[in-house]
C-alpha cells in the first residue's frame, strides 16, 4: 500500500520541522521552496537522520511543483515574517500574494488534496487559500487552535505539576490576542481546571496563552516559534491521512455554526480523510459567547481589510480608459 503523500510548502523552520515529524509518521513528504538548494539540502539532512531514529523516512526537496503531484495533503507554511518598519497591512498583502501563488501552483497538480494553512495572519490566509484553490470548505483548514491549545495545556501542566498527557484544553476564535481559551472545557484527568485552580491563576494562564507566540518572539529576538507549530501541523496531518476522526480545534469556514457565516474561525472540528468532517458545536456561556463574537469580529475586520487592499490594488493596476 503506498504511503500517504504530503507536500510541505516553505522550507523554513516551521516547514522543515513539520516535514520531519510528518515523515516520521510514515508519510512520503515533498518539501518545496522557491530558494534553490534549500529544500533539497534540508530533505537530504532529514533523510540522513532516518537511520539514527529508526524510521524509513521518504522525503525529497524540490523547487518544482510538478514533483508534488498526487499529494493527499498540502501544508502551506510559506510567507514573510514581519520586518521592522513593515505595517500589518504590508505583511498581510505580501503574504496573501505568496499564499495565493503557492496554492494555485500546488493544487494544479493535486486536485483532491486537503489544504492545511499555517501562514499568518492565519484566519485571513485561509480565505485566500480557499479562493485560490476553489476547494470546498471541508478541504481548507487552518492550523492555529491545536497550537494555542498545546500552549494552554503546557501552562496548566506546569502550574499543577502534572503530565501534559493528563491535560486537555480548548481554545476557540481567531489566532491572536482575541483567541478564546475555555477553562470550563479544559481538564486535568477529566476534572475541569476551574475545580483545581483559582480564578486569578486561570486568568494568568489564559493571558499567557493568548500571548504565547509573542513571548517566544521576545525571547528569541529574531524569528518565532517552530517546534510546537511543526508538531501541531503533524498532528492535523496524521488525523487526516490516518482517517482518525479526531476532534481538534482548527480554523474552519463557518456557514451558520456558532452564529457565524462566511468566515474562518477557530472551532472544534472532526478531522478525517475528507478533511473537516464535521464542525462540533458546544454550548457557550454568555461571557464565552461574547468573547467568541468579539474574536470573530476581529477576524471579519481583517478579512474585510484584505478585500479592500485587493480591490485597491486591482483598481490601481487597471489600464486607464482611453
Residues labelled catalytic: 175
Buried b (16+ CB within 10 A) or exposed e, 234-255: bbbbbbbbbeeebebbbbbbbe
SS3 222: coil
Distance CA 322, CA 311 (A): 21
Classify the C-alpha dihedral 241-244-248-250 as positive or negative.
positive
The terminus-to-terminus CA distance of the chain in angstroms comes to 61
CB neighbourhood size of 134 (10 A): 11
Question: Quick check: 133 and 227 in contact, CB under 8 A?
Answer: no
Residue 301 has a CB neighbour count (10 Å cut-off) of 12
Grid cell 485561509 is found at: 126
Q: Find residue 266's DSSP bridge partners.
A: 173, 251
Q: How far apart are CA 75 and CA 97, in angstroms?
A: 16
Q: Which residue shows C-alpha cell 505595517? A: 87
| Of 172, 225, 219, nearest in space to 18 by CA | 225
Query: 3-class SS at 61?
Result: strand
The grid coordinates listed for 67 are: 514533483
Separation between Cα atoms, residue 137 and residue 260, nearest integer Å: 14
C-alpha span between 20 and 43 (Å, rounded) = 9
Amino acid at each position: 500500500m503506498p504511503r500517504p503523500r504530503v507536500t510541505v510548502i516553505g522550507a523554513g523552520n516551521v516547514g522543515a520541522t513539520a516535514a520531519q515529524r510528518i515523515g516520521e509518521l510514515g508519510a512520503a513528504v515533498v518539501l518545496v521552496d522557491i530558494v534553490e538548494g534549500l529544500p533539497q539540502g534540508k530533505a537530504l539532512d532529514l533523510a540522513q537522520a532516518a537511520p539514527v531514529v529508526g524510521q524509513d523516512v521518504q522525503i525529497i526537496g524540490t523547487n518544482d511543483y510538478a514533483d508534488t503531484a498526487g499529494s493527499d495533503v498540502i501544508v502551506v507554511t510559506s510567507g514573510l515574517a514581519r520586518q521592522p518598519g513593515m505595517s500589518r497591512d504590508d505583511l498581510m498583502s505580501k503574504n496573501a500574494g505568496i499564499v495565493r501563488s503557492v496554492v494555485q501552483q500546488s493544487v494544479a497538480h493535486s486536485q483532491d488534496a486537503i489544504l492545511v494553512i499555517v501562514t499568518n495572519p492565519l484566519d485571513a490566509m485561509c480565505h485566500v487559500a480557499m479562493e485560490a484553490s476553489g476547494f470546498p470548505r471541508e478541504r481548507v483548514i487552518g492550523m492555529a487552535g491545536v497550537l494555542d491549545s498545546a500552549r494552554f495545556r503546557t501552562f496548566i501542566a506546569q502550574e499543577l505539576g502534572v503530565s501534559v498527557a493528563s491535560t486537555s484544553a480548548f481554545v476557540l476564535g481567531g489566532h491572536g490576542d482575541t483567541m478564546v481559551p475555555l477553562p470550563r472545557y479544559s481538564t486535568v484527568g477529566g476534572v475541569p481546571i476551574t475545580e483545581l485552580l483559582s480564578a486569578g491563576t486561570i486568568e494568568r494562564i489564559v493571558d499567557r496563552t493568548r500571548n504565547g507566540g509573542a513571548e517566544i518572539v521576545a525571547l528569541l529576538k529574531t524569528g518565532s516559534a517552530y517546534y510546537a507549530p511543526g508538531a501541531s501541523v503533524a498532528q492535523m496531518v496524521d488525523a487526516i491521512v490516518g482517517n482518525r476522526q479526531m476532534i481538534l480545534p482548527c480554523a474552519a469556514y463557518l456557514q451558520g455554526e456558532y452564529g457565524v457565516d462566511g468566515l474562518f474561525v477557530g472551532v472544534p472540528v472532526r478531522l478525517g480523510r475528507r478533511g473537516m468532517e464535521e464542525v462540533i458545536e458546544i454550548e457557550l456561556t454568555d461571557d464565552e459567547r461574547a468573547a467568541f463574537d468579539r474574536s470573530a469580529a476581529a477576524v471579519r475586520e481583517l478579512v474585510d481589510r484584505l478585500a479592500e487592499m485587493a480591490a485597491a490594488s486591482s483598481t490601481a493596476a487597471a489600464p486607464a480608459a482611453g
